[in-house]
Structure 1
Amino acid sequence: MDNRTKLTFMLIVGWALCMVFAVIGFFVYIQLGDGDATSSGEAQSVSTPLPANAVHVEIYSSNTKQDWMNQIIETFNAEKHVVDDNVIVVTVKHVGSGSSMNAILDDEAKPVVWSPGSDLWVTNINQAWKDRTGQEIISDECPATLRLPLAIAMWKPMAEALGWPNKPVGWDDLAKLANDPDGWAMYGHPEWGQFKFGHPHPEHSNSGMLSIVAEVYSAAQLTEGLTVDIVKSKPVVESLGAIEQQVFHYGKKDTDILRKMTNRGPQYLHAVTSYESNVIKWNRDNADQLRFPFVAIYPDDGTFWVENPYCILDKADWVDDTQKKGAVQFRDYLLAEEQQKLAIDWGLRPADLGILLHAPIDIEHGAVPSITPNEVPHLAYPSNEIVGHIIDTWHQVKKKATIIMLMDTSGSMQGAKIKQAVEGAAVFFEQMDPNDEVYLVTFSNTVIESPNSGKVGQVGESLRLSLDGLFAEGGTALYQAIIKSLERAEQLKTEDEANGEKRTYGIVVLSDGQDSIDGGPSWNDVLSSLPSGDEASDVKLYTVAYGDDADTDILATLANRTNGKIFTGDVENITDVYFLISSEF
């Protein structure tokens, strides 16, 4: 081979390698850069190939610290730390605190380390594990990795109307605003109408759970010492109800709600409970899309400075001694001053409050760095018993839901598809409040509403019988089913409003194919029947693309235009998908 041929060969090989690394780099970028959990309910993960004999330390970590954790893990793995002569490889899945706890308890997840949003979840999982096995799953201390204040993310002009950043604002101020029939007129802005609020579902989300606990503390004018009598007292119930009746959007994560607010603007929702770090990240990443910036309001009557504890599941039978040692090494690395300082770059406050803060934790990005636990006290975590009663009270006062369940029973749903879809729908009904209303509508060649519809507490058993009797045959009248369900939802909404009842309205659509009815409504007819989506009180569509043949584009359009959400499901995970959808109500 002459020199020119060698040179040509080397250039070709070099070009090919560059292309390979570019593809790999793009894949890694996609893995690390997507900040939202998949709608199908899978945890986001950063995968690292495991060398032979590697000590694998898998971490389930709360979503809020995703960027920082990815950065630290990448550096740690590149440095090739060793335990017992074997390389430690750390991987992470970014998850919700509540959903990951349930996955561990249900034997569906087996991490070595669990890092939920707050210490409250550690108490919960230890109690649940002890109830089942006689011992706690975590016996060692769970040190804090961060100190993140739970805040109220609000559009800047609205926060300024309340006095931000100079005047203290608390949950009691929001309760008064929510209770006032003139709404924002009490602050000189009648054009903003009634206060509209959102927070994640407290049984699925750390920030959602802490939101309602903080609301209870504020109503009781306490920062610790909640009792059952206090939680059930009239002032607490009324104050919690005043705020919760103005909630127009729940969901699995606060960032899902922030995204809806970004897409729809200030008229959709006025505020959502979130972490200071999410406010900072949102302003930085979405500045071009935001009508106004978000700012963080730190309730002056107290908030949670969440720890994001690092917990080694040392009593789990799937964690061996070498993995424990590897987890300790990574813990010490994570808590070292160098890594703690890196957290600030992502808008996260370090666990060591003595480390000086800098941008982006500043006014420009919607944060007030001078606010510390000295100015806004840390609320005490209540016991499991008290949390249970708070959840009960929340169910009592929250805005109830009216849900139309659209179930595809066309011929393509035969076999395992229809069987598993029925089981998933049954799980969904079990998650509903007894005073929620559910209307079962099936569609094949025609669209039929089950007579066993109404309040879940009254029709639950008969509704299950209706589900058990379903079988698959015929075509797919998808468009007609959607149009009829929208008309039915609007009818129910009009009746409720006439009776002075506030509810949320949703249509859950499961389909495994495309509309196949000749002479029926067109896609344009469906689009014309959809609500505008500009109002948070509008009917929302939550769609499930069931299997590979589902028309994902159409189902995504239905969800996105109505501020709902699309999920993907199959016979293996459809029950989990329906469970996730329940977090929207």
Structure 2
Amino acid sequence: MTLLKNIRAVWLMIGLLAATTFACQLGDADSEGIPDDAVLVNVVTSTSLEPWMQTAVANFNDSSSNTRGETPIYVIIRGVESGQFITNLSADEPAPDLWIPDSPVWVNLAADQGHTSYQHNCQSVATSPLVIGMWRELAESLGWPGFPLGWLDVGSLAQDPSAYQYYSGGEYGDQLRLSHPHPGLSGAGAGTLLALVQSAQAKTDAVTADDIQKPIVQASVGAFESAVSSFANSTNTLVNNMRERGPSYLGAAVMYENDVVYNSNGDIVPIYPLEGTFIATHPACINQEAAADVQEAAALFRDYLLSEAGQETAVSFALRPAYLKTPITTPLTIEFGVDLNQPTVIFNEPNVDALYAVQDLWQTARKDVNLVMLLDTSGSMRGGKIDNMRDAAAQFVEQMGDEDKITLIAFST
């Protein structure tokens, strides 16, 4: 099938799924509760933060917050992976008033592509380390938590079925099925490859584009990617598929600590790679081209996220608070596999050139893609949301090769 046919097929499938669901749910969308004169604040956040943000937005909207001019504020949230968001901006999607990517490098990447309005007013609202999520029983068979595992260890086990069976005791399948998000669309996906580069170089200073061209780096990334069985378009998709389909589908996957802890009830645990890892700092960046009253409203919402109530809610969704005096409670506890003393080694933030270089390397190193894409066809998606979903799916397919495969799964809430 040619690439153009792939794109058309995806559009047709999404359209049919959406039409079927919407026909059953006409009238479900609820526009009540938005004051007629409200200042609307459109927020785009990385999907890893979406569970927290949905609750935070609901609480903020219920608080009847106003601007200095006594105009009510109403916040609307949407989850989009950082790389996908930049792609959407380049396709002339309207820019939101507040953007919360995984880390500052995505803000710089957007600026490098001409979208400079998010660079000058950013503040971290929560953090989470990039980890390898692994089924608890499998991790224990490999020596966790007493024996540290690294990026290169897990890649080697996934690449060598005989070694995997030997060290795991042969109780968890013939091979370790490994996954990570798409590096062109997801901050966690790009972070996976950059962490491999850091590990191959045995350095914590930010790697450069020249480092990524070194043979040992390309060999390490190529070996790891050859063992990856599937990719996902977001960390949410990845952890939900892993949880619902079990260890035979995926034994391990790269995602953020909060994705693992919040979604798995302790059955999947975070492995903190011994070589080191990145920390997602989730900067909340106000669009400097938004109207003055919208910027004020966006700043007030960000202040709420950083308030005592907002930060305690973040912790309840397994995010590490940006405000360090916030009490740490469940689920950020040992029962869920969390070690707040980890990671002991933190990699420095990469620059834009390194991000471009590692994405280029992935295109040559990766196996053919076998992707599962979850599509929300609920009644609340009618209108612009379903259009955006179709556009995002088509843009994703444009990055796939002719031999790549994609499975579409529709769900409705």
Q: TM-score, normalised by structure 1?
A: 0.58
Pick the aligned partner of 1:320 from 274, 284, 291: 291
Q: Sort the Cα spacing of 1:281 and 1:48 in 2 relative to 1 into closer, same or farther, 3 A.
A: farther
Counterpart Cα distance in 1 of 2:89 and 2:33: 24
Equivalent residue for 1:257? 238
**Deviation of the 1:340 alpha carbon:** 0.8
Cα RMSD of the aligned pairs, angstroms, is 2.8
Amino acid in structure 2 at the alignment position of 1:381: E
Q: Sort the Cα spacing of 1:426 and 1:71 in 2 relative to 1 into closer, same or farther, 3 A.
A: closer
Native 8 Å contact 2:258 2:319 kept in 1: yes
Native 8 Å contact 2:206 2:347 kept in 1: no
Native 8 Å contact 1:148 1:275 kept in 2: yes
Native 8 Å contact 2:312 2:326 kept in 1: yes
Equivalent residue for 2:338? 368
Q: Sort the Cα spacing of 1:233 and 1:107 in 2 relative to 1 into closer, same or farther, 3 A.
A: same
Aligned residues: 364
Counterpart Cα distance in 2 of 1:207 and 1:105: 21
Q: Does 1:309 align with 2:283?
A: yes
Q: Does 1:147 align with 2:127?
A: yes
Amino acid in structure 2 at the alignment position of 1:166: G
1:292-330 superposed Cα distances (whole Å, 9 cap, x missing partner): x1111011211121111101011x3xx111111111112
Pick the aligned partner of 2:321 from 350, 355, 359: 350
SS at match of 1:147: strand
Amino acid in structure 2 at the alignment position of 1:145: V
Amino acid in structure 2 at the alignment position of 1:369: D
Counterpart Cα distance in 2 of 1:109 and 1:425: 17
Pick the aligned partner of 1:272 from 249, 253, 257: 253
**Which runs of structure 2 are paired with 1:174-213 in the superposition (5 Å)?**
174-180=154-160, 182-191=162-171, 192-213=173-194
Q: Sort the Cα spacing of 1:386 and 1:76 in 2 relative to 1 into closer, same or farther, 3 A.
A: same
Q: Does 1:229 align with 2:210?
A: yes
Q: Does 1:565 align with 2:384?
A: no
Counterpart Cα distance in 2 of 1:165 and 1:250: 26
Counterpart Cα distance in 2 of 1:401 and 1:75: 39
Comparing 142-151 with 156-165, greater Cα deviation is found at 156-165
Equivalent residue for 1:161? 141
User: Unaligned regions of 5+ residues in structure 2, if any?
Assistant: 1-16, 19-28, 372-390
Native 8 Å contact 1:195 1:270 kept in 2: yes
Equivalent residue for 2:353? 385
**Deviation of the 1:53 alpha carbon:** 2.6
Equivalent residue for 1:89? 74
Native 8 Å contact 1:46 1:92 kept in 2: no
Comparing 97-106 with 299-308, greater Cα deviation is found at 97-106
Q: Sort the Cα spacing of 1:46 and 1:302 in 2 relative to 1 into closer, same or farther, 3 A.
A: farther
SS at match of 1:53: coil
1:402-445 superposed Cα distances (whole Å, 9 cap, x missing partner): 99xxxxxxxxxxxxxxxxxxx99997775234xx54xxxxxxxx
SS at match of 1:387: helix
Native 8 Å contact 2:229 2:370 kept in 1: no
**Deviation of the 1:207 alpha carbon:** 1.3
Counterpart Cα distance in 2 of 1:75 and 1:99: 27
Native 8 Å contact 1:125 1:137 kept in 2: no
Q: Sort the Cα spacing of 1:178 and 1:307 in 2 relative to 1 into closer, same or farther, 3 A.
A: same
Counterpart Cα distance in 1 of 2:191 and 2:34: 37
Q: Sort the Cα spacing of 1:426 and 1:85 in 2 relative to 1 into closer, same or farther, 3 A.
A: closer
Counterpart Cα distance in 2 of 1:378 and 1:185: 31
Native 8 Å contact 2:181 2:188 kept in 1: yes
Native 8 Å contact 1:118 1:308 kept in 2: yes
Counterpart Cα distance in 2 of 1:209 and 1:294: 22
Q: Sort the Cα spacing of 1:77 and 1:247 in 2 relative to 1 into closer, same or farther, 3 A.
A: same
Amino acid in structure 1 at the alignment position of 2:329: H
SS at match of 1:182: helix
**Deviation of the 1:227 alpha carbon:** 2.4
1:363-410 superposed Cα distances (whole Å, 9 cap, x missing partner): 322x3233345x2x222221111111111111111113599xxxxxxx
SS at match of 1:229: helix
Equivalent residue for 1:73? 57
SS at match of 2:56: helix
1:344-372 superposed Cα distances (whole Å, 9 cap, x missing partner): 1121111123433221112322x323334
**Deviation of the 1:113 alpha carbon:** 0.6
**Deviation of the 1:65 alpha carbon:** 1.9
Q: Does 1:245 align with 2:216?
A: no
Native 8 Å contact 1:55 1:88 kept in 2: yes
Q: TM-score, normalised by structure 2?
A: 0.80
Equivalent residue for 1:297? 271
Q: Sort the Cα spacing of 1:186 and 1:330 in 2 relative to 1 into closer, same or farther, 3 A.
A: same
Amino acid in structure 2 at the alignment position of 1:121: W
1:247-274 superposed Cα distances (whole Å, 9 cap, x missing partner): 1111212332333333432122210111
SS at match of 2:131: strand
Q: Does 1:98 align with 2:83?
A: yes
Counterpart Cα distance in 1 of 2:139 and 2:207: 29
**Deviation of the 1:85 alpha carbon:** 2.6
Highest CA radius of gyration, 1 or 2? 1
SS at match of 1:327: helix
SS at match of 1:341: helix
Q: Sort the Cα spacing of 1:118 and 1:239 in 2 relative to 1 into closer, same or farther, 3 A.
A: same
SS at match of 1:168: coil
